[in-house]
Structure 1
Amino acid sequence: MNDALPPALRTQLDTHLAAGLDTLGLDRALAGPLLDYLALLLRWNRTYNLTAVRDPLEMVDKHLLDSLAMHPFVAGIAAAGGTLADLGTGAGLPGIPLAIARPGLRVTLVESNGKKARFMREAIRRLSLADVRVAQSRIEALDEPGRYDAITARALATLPLIVELGGHLLRPGGRLLAMKGVYPADEIAALPAGWTMLESHPLRVPGLAAERHLVVVGRNDDRDASARP
């Protein structure tokens, strides 16, 4: 089946996405592969209900640009050829857009749902994303301790639960880069012993008026070590 977007719609989406990429400081050339991913997601979504958002323009804002708003925080990891695990990624968000925007970033998409895992494998194949893999697994069952420079999650769970489920995946010095809406003060206060918030950054997502934050969480001993002379 043809995955191509109708030309008029593709032009509309390209214009909208390009403006968002400009705002985020990203190359407009990324619009092509990002829209190829979106076209595939739209087709699969008609059958498999991968995401509740169905309007293509909404998907540009709520899926592509929202995912890409955190790209500065994985730039250093990508430049070093480092590793990121996207926990409970669903249809590959934010992991696939980040992999497109930041070549060199080695992304593992962690998802237990079989339909979503099949979609992501097809997207990886179609988009030739050599540094992206799917781990079809529950987060807590993924037996890759200490493998990742960072883990991320988008609208998955509270900070304490993300740490409980996926903290074992982080190498020493690794970071949880959690995408949140309003500043999650209660979740930060409830982080388990041994974990602390290191940074919080407001995110500007083009096309979205909703409040967004990127919360960086690490182990206490990592923070203490970095403070030593």
Structure 2
Amino acid sequence: MGIAREVFGEALPLAERYAAFLAKAGVERGLIGPREVDRLWERHLINCAVVSEVIPEDAQVVDVGSGAGLPGVVLAIVRPDLRVILLEPLLRRTTFLNECVELLELPNVEVRRGRAEDMTGEFSVDVATARAVAPLERLATWALPLLRPGGELLALKGERAATELDEAKAVLDRFGVRSTELLQVGQGMVDPPTTLVRVVAGRGEVVGRRQRAPRRAKGSRKRSS
């Protein structure tokens, strides 16, 4: 537990409570496979917690397809400065997440039931996270409209990260993203390190084939390029 203590610090007891809940209720309800119990810390909790290294202070985060709360709940535990929305379409999973938030007494977490693609205009956040939800090509179309201009999609990916980034190029271009990159976080803490695809949103989101620009304040003038 040495690395876990280093990663979670004073929040370790809370992380331990979450791990116990995952190992029991998470397995019983099919959110975590029984074989994952013995590797919950390295493969799941620490793997998710190190993502916090690249999230700005006081950011608002939406965890798309949160499932059992990975990485959303973990990020809320390790970074109480974050405001986290756990977005999940399935009732049984949102029920689990609500019980989890109540058990852990996380004041910085909100659980919302719904599909990301139906949430455009409902809220706008600084960071969107996702883990094992969908290929980047599809995930980007769901997550990017939820970001403020300059916001970041942080997708936890494995060995196919570079390939998925290449395959998503056309979609990302259509959304007018500012930049993309592959990152590895948690060096020396998890083996292998956690691989992230970071996508920085452009000025506005695409609706169909048209790009919708952010609203300008009354009296402001549109700059000529």
Question: What TM-score, normalized to structure 1?
Answer: 0.78
Q: Which residue of 1 aligns with 2:110?
A: 133
User: Of 136, 141, 145, which aligns to 1:164?
Assistant: 141
Question: Is the CA contact (8 Å cut-off) linking 2:130 and 2:155 kept in structure 1?
Answer: yes
Unpaired runs of at least 5, structure 1: 1-15, 223-229
SS of residue in 2 equivalent to 1:93: coil
Deviation of 1:107 (Å): 0.3
SS of alignment partner, residue 159 of structure 2: coil
Rounded to whole Å, the distance in 2 between the matches of 1:94 and 1:53 is: 19
Q: Give the Å deviation of 1:100.
A: 0.7
Tell me how far apart the structure 1 counterparts of residues 28 and 139 of structure 2 sit (CA, whole Å): 30
What is the TM-score when the length of structure 2 is the normalising length? 0.79
Which of residues 43, 51, 56 in structure 2 aligns to 1:62? Answer: 43
Deviation at 1:51, TM superposition (A): 1.3
Aligned equivalent of 1:20: 4
Match of 2:186, as an amino acid?
R
In structure 1, distance between residues paired with 2:42 and 2:187: 8
Match of 1:198 in 2: 180
Q: Residue 20 of structure 1 contacts residue 206 of structure 1 at CA under 8 Å; is this kept in 2? A: no
Q: What's the offset of the Cα at 1:219?
A: 3.1
Secondary structure of the 1:156 match is coil
Q: Which ranges of structure 2 fall in alignment gaps of 5 or more residues?
A: 205-225
Identity %: 30
Name the residue aligned to 1:45.
26
Deviation of 1:89 (Å): 1.1
8 Å contact 2:66–2:72 — kept in the other structure? yes
Read off the aligned partner of 1:38 and give its amino acid letter: A
Please give the residue correspondences for 1:97-176 in structure 2 after superposition, counting only pairs within 5 Å: 97-145=74-122, 147-176=124-153
| Paired AA for residue 147 in structure 1 | S
Secondary structure in structure 2 of the residue aligned to 1:121: helix
Q: How many angstroms apart in 2 are the aligned matches of 1:159 and 1:150? A: 15
Provide Cα deviations, 1:41-92, integer angstroms capped at 9, x if missing partner: 2221343111125453311111111111211112x2xx3x321000111100
Q: CA RMSD in A?
A: 2.3
2:218 is matched with which residue? none
Q: Residue 152 of structure 1 contacts residue 176 of structure 1 at CA under 8 Å; is this kept in 2?
A: yes
Conservation of the 8 A alpha-carbon contact between 2:31 and 2:68: yes
2-structure distance, mates of 1:116, 1:122: 10
What is the CA–CA distance in structure 2 between the aligned matches of 1:57 and 1:170, rounded to whole Å? 36
Distance in 1 of aligned mates of 2:112 and 2:45: 21
* Whole-angstrom CA distance in 2 between matches of 1:187 and 1:114: 29
2:214 aligns with none
Q: Which amino acid aligns with 2:163?
A: D
Name the one with the larger helix percent: 1
* Structure 1 pair 46–94 and aligned structure 2 pair: CA distance change class (3 A): closer
